[in-house]
Amino acid sequence: MEFPTPSPMKFDVPNVAESCKKWEKSFEVYRTAHEAFKKPEKVQVALLLHTAGPDAQTIFDTFQFRSGESKDKYSDVLQKFHEYVEPHRNVVYYSDYFLTKSSPIFFGGKY
């Protein structure tokens, strides 16, 4: 049975971390449906990079793997993407969210 591949990761959105988190959930469903977790990790990484698209592949090429980490280990590559997107969280959005009039902090309430 064929399942459609998830669309590529998007790195040109305001909240990259949230977008990638949603993409990862979709990819994990796809990976499970294809039983890719039964394949060698190098194949799983290749599937991840192929599905994630050219922007993700370019970003992957910049990753530095420490001793004990491997570019061929699925969990290590996924962790590198998490580390990459986390600093790209939309700080302006979150600052605005917490400083709006509806925020308990604004009214001096408990949080």
Mean pLDDT, range 68-84, rounded to an integer:
95
pLDDT in tens, 15-46: 888 999 999 999 999 999 999 999 999 999 99
* Cβ atoms of 30 and 6 closer than 8 Å: yes
Tokens of 28: 């994990």
Q: pLDDT band at residue 104, thresholds of 50, 70 and 90? A: low
pTM score of the predicted model? 0.76
